[in-house]
Amino acid sequence: MESKEFKNPVVSWIDHRLPIFSFLNHEANEYPTPKNLNYFWNFGSLAGIALVIMIVTGITLAMSYTAHTDYAFDSVERIMRDVNHGWLIRYIHMNGASFFFIVVFIHIFRGLYYGSYKAPRELLWMLGVLILLLMMATAFMGYVLPWGQMSFWGATVITNLFSAIPLVGENIVIWLWGGFSVDNPTLNRFFALHYLLPFVIVGVVVLHLVALHRFGSNNPLGIDTRGPQDTLPFHPYYTIKDFFGLSVFLTFFAAAVFFVPNMMGHPDNYIPANALQTPAHIVPEWYFLPFYAILRAVPDKLGGVLAMFGAIAVLFVLPWLDRSPIRSARFRPIFKIFFWLLFIDCLVLGYIGAMPAEGIYVLIGRLATVWYFAHFLIILPVLSVIETPRPLPQSISQPIFSAAGGGLAGAMSAPKEKVE
Amino acid sequence: MAKSKSKTSEMETSQGKSRRDFIVVASYAMGAVGAGAFAWPLIDQMNPAADTLALASIEVDISKIAEGQSITLKWRGKPVFIRHRTADEIRQAQDVDIDGLRHPEGDEIRAQKPEYLVVLGVCTHLGCVPLGQKVGEVRGEYDGWFCPCHGSHYDASGRIRKGPAPTNLEVPPYAFLSDNVIRIG
Ligand code: HEM
Ligand code: FES
């Protein structure tokens, strides 16, 4: 990285000794970005902003929260009623978790559709799956903190998953609990870890970005950029586009926080935890529902747990399951159909996860689970062999030139000349 | 550094391994043992603390439980079910052919006295509290307990009969101190 001359002498002086400004200029200003990105490329930066929102509201909540079984529930109620703006901060944190997952799920489906997990971005993709896992652990432990009925029983059911491990399972669960049931030691350590993990996520996000900037963003055509005619500098083109996306996102987010703050929560979590009574129908937070459906689809305890973790494990190895060299679904007619079937399948799993495990729901849940795994383990490997892709464009600029002729091409290249 | 390198090569043994290699391996090994020894307290601190383990046992007077009724107590943070079974329930529990069960256990091993069944009220699937303690609650297809979380059915001996749970409801350690008093734990 060559250091750059800055007009401001203080900035220059610092940059000469600590090239932080050169670094930022290189990675966030000049950074060449494919010029054909659509709005699905907004969701990465949105996820980053959601993480910052969670950390800021989380730390301010922690200033009034008490991690003890006798006080936790009341301390959250006190945040809601007495602490200045406590209700706002908690509702932002609570709904922020849901919006964070919405954004990340869209971000992941974007990657699936446009083949962003393929070479040379395999590690970038795997780091993303790792972030998803860490987010799930963080959100699960956060949900335990208010110590309501769903907190308690969610924690009980999820920690008990580990008892399915042969031989050492029981010991692992007792170790996780620090006792013989979910109790005060459990709440304390969950708070400690809930505080820690978001910062671990920040670390992995940094690695994710380093891997991203090695080869740059993928794009809707899924072909490599071939030089300056295919890219735009990140600033101002994508900073402004990301800001516009952010304002739309914040509009929805604010609407939820101010008008329906409890829509995505469960009313039972406003009942203090009771170790002697399980709520009639326990459901996890909505973002866990597809995985919960897979857990329940298998009629065997260990099998169910393995299937649930397997659902994430297939994402880790996805770059090696889909061997087709074509990235974008735009040029893969059959893959495109199966992509949408997978998308619907995930919605079905989410719906089944929220329904009681009986009757027709069990059957649908099993079929949807089989389809999920078949998609990754059978359909994708087979498709990579039998599918005939559509012809790829020569370059990112080419389809624009040929489709619209001089007029549009001129309009598209005009701003480019200015910045060069 | 370059100097010492040439010196070690003079000391090389017939297998081409030097004393320096030995020292390097030995240091790594010591480092690994040290790191492991230090990691253990950090991991083990999460296991139940002495005061948690010392949780006292509880004593209960069971004479007040009418026939056909159940009570729920809390022991080590978990619910314990004590059911005063009716003659009918006892017969049902004893008449089962245990060979066909997922977790074959005779009723006589599970209940010290057939009138009183003492089990942990913790579903062996994922730990919910099964229904069936209160009058009017569903008791499942085998007239014992029913776990609503993922649909496990237990019989009048607390044995798993249907659903995802792998084993019978656990019988905690307990003893009859007299005809009317039992101690759990
Ligand atoms: C990855 C980022 C994070 C996620 C996904 C997350 C998720 C959650 C969730 C789902 C809840 C339960 C909300 C409720 O139902 O009441 C929660 C509560 C809480 N979180 Fe976080 N959190 C994150 C970061 C943080 C950070 C960095 C802190 C700093 C200490 C924090 C502190 C708290 C506290 C004190 C509570 C309990 C108060 C409450 O329930 O509203 N969180 N978190
Ligand atoms: S916890 Fe009882 S059936 Fe799953």
Domain ranges in chain B are 1-47, 52-184
Entry field: residues in chain B? 185
Q: Which domain holds residue A91?
A: 34-277
**Residues A229 and A351 occupy one common structural domain:** no
* Single-letter residue type at B105: E
pLDDT at residue number B11: 54
Q: Which of A176, A181, A282 sits opposite B78 (nearest CB)?
A: A181
Q: Is the CB of A62 under 6 A from ligand 1?
A: yes
Partners of A161 on chain B (C-beta within 8 Å) are 126
CB B161 within 8 A of CB B174: no
Domain match, A228 and A325 both: no
pLDDT at position B185 is: 83
Within a domain: A376:
yes
Q: Are residues A236 and A374 in the same domain?
A: no
pLDDT, tens digit (0-9, with 9 covering 90-100), for A127-141: 999 999 999 999 999
In a domain, A415, yes or no: no
How many domains would you assign to chain A? 2
A50 and A101 co-located in one domain: yes
Q: Evaluate: CB of A396 within 6 angstroms of ligand 1.
A: no
Residue ranges in chain A modelled with pLDDT below 70: 1-4, 399-420
Q: Does residue B161 belong to the interface with chain A, where contact is any CB pair within 8 Å? A: no
On whether both A98 and A152 belong to a single domain, the answer is yes
Q: How far is B54 from B125, CA to CA, in rounded Å?
A: 27
The residue with tokens 């980053």 is A48
Whose alpha carbon is nearest atom 3 of ligand 2? B150
Longest CA–CA separation in chain A, Å: 74
For residue A17, the distance in angstroms to the closest alpha carbon of chain B comes to 31
CA dihedral B99, B100, B104, B108 (to 10 degrees): -70
Given the residues B84, B103, B125, B150, select the one marked as catalytic. Answer: B150
Decide the pairing of beta strands A32-34 and B143-147: unpaired
pLDDT for B13 equals 55
In a domain? residue A246: yes
B-chain residue closest to A293, CA distance: B150
pLDDT attached to residue A404: 45
Instruction: Tell me if A65 CB under 6 Å of ligand 1.
Output: yes
Asked if B148 lies within 8 A of A280 by C-beta distance, the reply is yes
What would the mean pLDDT of B81-96 be, rounded to a whole number? Answer: 92
| CA A126/CA A207 separation, integer angstroms | 11
pLDDT at residue A416, as a whole number? 41
* End-of-domain residue from the set A214, A242, A277: A277
Distance from C-alpha of A357 to C-alpha of B149, rounded to nearest angstrom: 8
Test A181 with B126 for CB contact under 8 angstroms: no
The atom of ligand 2 lying closest to the CA of B123 is 2
Cα separation values, A183 from A29, A151, A156, A178, Å: 50, 11, 10, 8
Shortest alpha-carbon distance between residue B22 and chain A (Å) = 36
- A91 lies in the same domain as A76: yes
Neighbouring-strand partners of residue B75: B78
Query: Does the beta-carbon distance from A157 to B164 stay under 8 Å?
Result: no
Q: From the CA of A101, give the closest atom in ligand 1.
A: 5
Long-range contacts of B170-173 (CB under 8 A, 24+ apart): B170/B119, B170/B120, B170/B122, B170/B124, B171/B110, B171/B118, B171/B119, B171/B120, B172/B75, B172/B80, B172/B118, B172/B119, B172/B120
Q: Is residue B157 a contact partner of residue B30, using CB atoms and an 8 Å limit?
A: no
Higher-scoring residue by pLDDT: A407, B175: B175
Report if residue A418 sits inside a domain.
no
Query: What's the average model confidence in pLDDT over B149-178?
Result: 92
- Topology, domain B52-184: Rieske Iron-sulfur Protein (2.102.10)
Ligand number with the minimum distance to the CA of A147: 1
pLDDT of the residue at B12: 53
* Shortest distance, CA A240 to any CA of chain B (angstroms): 47
Q: Which amino acid is at A154?
A: G
Cα separation values, A349 from A32, A233, A363, Å:
39, 41, 11
Give the CATH number, domain containing residue A204.
1.20.810.10
Are both A88 and A230 inside the same structural domain?
yes
Q: Which amino acid is at A214?
A: R
Mean predicted lDDT score pLDDT of chain B: 88
Q: Is residue A192 located within the same domain as residue A126?
A: yes
Q: What is the DSSP letter of A28?
A: I
Is the beta carbon of A58 within 6 A of some atom in ligand 1?
yes
Q: In what order do the strands lie in the sheet containing B58-61?
A: B58-61, B181-184, B174-176
A139 CB less than 6 Å from ligand 1?
A: yes
Q: Verify that A267 and A169 share a domain, yes or no.
A: yes
Find the CB nearest B129 among A276, A281, A296.
Answer: A276
* A9 within domain boundaries: no
In the predicted model, what is the mean pLDDT of residues B44-60?
A: 87
Q: Which residues have a Cβ under 8 Å from the Cβ of A224 and sit 6 or more positions away?
A: none
Q: What is the ipTM of this complex?
A: 0.78
Nearest residue (by CA) to ligand 2, atom 1, is B126
- Identify which ligand lies nearest to the alpha carbon of B145: 2
Nearest CA-CA distance, residue A367 and chain B, Å: 18
Task: Examine the fold and report which residue of A226, A245, A277 is the final residue of a domain before the chain moves on.
Answer: A277
Q: Is B120 exposed, middle or buried (0-12, 13-18, 19+ CB in 10 A)?
A: buried
Contact A395/A230 with Cβ under 8 angstroms?
yes
Per-residue pLDDT band for B100 (boundaries 50, 70, 90) equals confident
In chain B, residues 95-134 whose CB comes closer than 8 Å to chain A: 121-122, 125-129
Name the closest residue on chain A to residue B80, using Cα atoms: A276
> A373 vs A118, A296, A310, A346, B96, CA distance in Å?
19, 15, 9, 11, 40
Q: Which residues are paired to B155 by β-bridges?
A: B143
Range 48-77 of B in CB contact (< 8 A) with A: 48-49, 52, 72, 74, 76-77
Average pLDDT over residues B169-175: 94
Please give the DSSP secondary-structure letter assigned to residue A279.
-
What is the number of the ligand closest to the CA of A157?
2
pLDDT tens-digit readout, B3-40: 445 454 555 555 667 889 999 999 999 999 999 999 99
Q: Among B113, B96, B73, which residue's Cα sits nearest to residue B168?
A: B96
The domain boundary, picked from A243, A277, A311, lies at: A277
Residues A229 and A340 reside in one and the same domain: no
Which of B52, B148, B166 has the CB atom closest to A281's CB atom? B148
DSSP A235: I
| Same domain? A263 vs A308 | no
In a shared domain, residues A71 and A109 = yes
Closest residue in chain A to residue B81, using alpha carbons only: A276
Residue type, A41: W
